[in-house]
Chain A
Amino acid sequence: MEEILTDNTPVPSGRIRNSNLAQAWLVLVLALIIGAILAAVQVRLSPIIAANKLNETLEKVPELVLGAGSAATRPSGLEVDPGTVKIEKDGPDSFYSVFHVVSKGAPAGWVVKTVGQGYGDKIELLIGFNPDITAITGIFVLGQKETPGLGANIASLKWRQQFIGKATARPLSVVKGGASAPNEIDAITGATISSRSVVGLVNRTTKDLAGKLAPEIVRFSRQVKKND
C-alpha cells in the first residue's frame, strides 16, 4: 500500500515520550489482546480440526475393506486400529499410516494411507487390502490437484472400482482402452499421466507392505471403536 496519510503529527518531545516503547504502546497492547484471543480460539478449535482430519480417513475405512454395500449397513462390532509401520529401504526409511480393521473379533483387512507425485501435485490415497495382503479391496483419493475434467477423474467411483479385487502378486499396469488381463487398469482418456501415477503409487505401496503387515508388527497408537 502507498502511504496516503502524511506524517504531520507533531513529534512528541521529552525523553520518555520519544522512546520506541512509548510510541508503540498501542501495537503492544493490541498484540497482547489479539494473542490472548487467538490462543483461546486455538485451544477451542484445534481438537475439532484434528478430529476432522482423522475422521476423513476413518469414515472411508469400513467401505474400503468391506465394500460400499456392506459398509452402508453399518455393521456392528467393527474396530479400526490406527497405527504406523516402518519400511526399511535403501534410502531413508518410510512410514505408512495403516488402519487394521477387525470385524466381530476376526481380522477384516487393512487400509493404508500413501502419498505420491501426480501430474499437478501430490496425490493422497487410501488403499484397502484383505487381511493377508493378497488382494486390493478398494482405493479412495483423499487429496489431489489434477486437471479438472481429466486427471481429476481418478477420484471418480467408476475409475476407482477397477481396482477392487485386483491380486497383488503381479504389479498392475496401465493400458489405453480395453483392459483385458487381470492386472490391467484402463487409463482415463486424456489423463495417462494421472492414471499412471495412481497405479504406480498402488504398486509401490503393495510392494513395500507385502508381508510386512501383521498386527504384531504394526505399532498401534490407540484404538478407535466404530460401533454405531
Chain B
Amino acid sequence: MTDGPTPTERFIQGILPENPVYRQLLGLCATLAVTNGLKPAMTMAVAVGFVLLSANVIISLIRNLLKPHLRIVVFTLTIAAFVTIVDRFLGAYMYQMSKALGPYIPLIIVNCIIICRCEVCASRQSVFTAAADAVGQTIGFGLALASIAVIRELLGTGMLAGIQVLPAAWPSWVIMVLPPGAFLTFGLLLGLINWVDAVKSAKQGRKG
C-alpha cells in the first residue's frame, strides 16, 4: 500500500495530466449545470474542494479499518456529512448564492470526482498524499469550470463574474447561458484539447 504516486506527483497530476473534467470526464453534472457564470462556478469549485479534501483526509486516516465490501458505504457517509455542512453553511452565510446553485450543492454527494479519489487514492495512500491529491484535483476541477464559465458568461451576457467587460452594445448570445451552451462549449473545448494533444504527439512521433 505504500508504493504509488508520491504526494507531489498526485498534486501535479490532478491539475492537467489527469484533469478530473477534461481527462477523466468526471463531475460533468456540476460542470454543465453551474458554469453559466464565473461566480457560481468558483463557489462550486470551492465547495467541491472542501468536501474532497475533508473526505480524502478522513478516508485516508481510517483506510486500514476499511472492509472492502463496506467501503462505499463509508465513503458515501463521509461525503454526505461534509456536503450537508457546506449546504447549511452557504444557506446561512451566502444565501443568494445558495439559492442560485439550488440542488447542485446537495448533488455534490454523487459527484464522481470525490468518490473516485477516495477509491483510487485516499483508501490506499497516506494522509499527506491524499491531501495533496485533493488539492491538485480541486485546482484541476476549478480550472476546468473556469474555462467553460468564462466563455459562457462572456458570450452569453458580456460580463465576467457579474462585471460588465464587453461594451454594452454587445449582443448577448443568450443560448450560451442556457443548457445547450454548456454542452456546446464543453464539447468544443474537449475537442480542442484532444486536437492539441494529437498535434503534439504527431510532432513527437516525427522527431523520434
Contacts and interface: CB of A to CB of B under 8 A. Distances in A.
A touches B (Cβ under 8 A): yes
Interface in A51-95: 52-53, 56
A37 interface: yes
Interface in B46-67: 62, 65-67
Contact of A1 (B68, B72, B157, B177): B72
A3 B36 CA distance: 34
Interface string A118-155: 00000000000000000000000001000111100000
B174 A49 contact: no
Interface centre among B69, B88, B99, B172, by most A CB within 10 Å?
Answer: B88
B116 A1 contact: yes
Given A30-B78, A149-B172, A23 B70 contact: yes
Nearest to A6: B68
Contacts of A31: 77
Contacts of A46: 88
Given A4-B120, A26-B65, A49-B91, A34 B81 contact: yes
A59 to B, nearest CB: 11
Contact of A9 (B68, B73, B88, B119): B68
B39 interface: no
Contacts of A6: 68
Contacts of B91: 45, 48-49, 52
A147 B67 contact: no
Chain A, interface size category, equals 20 to 34
B74 A1 contact: no
A150 B99 contact: no
A1 B119 contact: yes
Nearest to A5: B68
B178 A147 contact: yes
Tell me the dominant secondary structure on chain A's binding face. helix
A1 B26 CA distance: 11
Contacts of A7: 68-69
B177 A38 contact: no
Nearest to A8: B68
A41 B84 contact: yes
A34 B174 CA distance: 43
Given A26-B67, A41-B84, A148-B178, A52 B95 contact: yes
Chain B binding surface, main DSSP class: helix
A223 interface: no
Contact of B177 (A30, A34, A148): A148
A107 B71 CA distance: 63
B152 to A, nearest CB: 11
A42 interface: yes
B177 A45 contact: no
B77 to A, nearest CB: 6
Contact of B92 (A23, A24, A27, A52): A52
A117 to B, nearest CB: 18
Contact of B74 (A3, A8, A27, A42): A27
B190 interface: no
Contacts of A8: 68
6 contacts: A26-B62, A26-B67, A30-B77, A38-B85, A148-B36, A149-B174
Interface of B: 36, 62, 65-74, 77-78, 81, 84-85, 88-89, 91-93, 95, 99, 112, 115-116, 119-120, 123, 156-157, 172, 174, 177-178
Given A46-B88, A148-B174, 19 more contacts: A4-B120, A5-B68, A6-B68, A9-B68, A23-B70, A26-B70, A27-B70, A27-B73, A30-B62, A37-B85, A41-B85, A41-B88, A45-B88, A49-B88, A52-B91, A52-B95, A53-B95, A147-B178, A148-B36
Interface of A: 1, 3-9, 23-24, 26-27, 30-31, 34, 37-38, 41-42, 45-46, 48-49, 52-53, 56, 143, 147-150
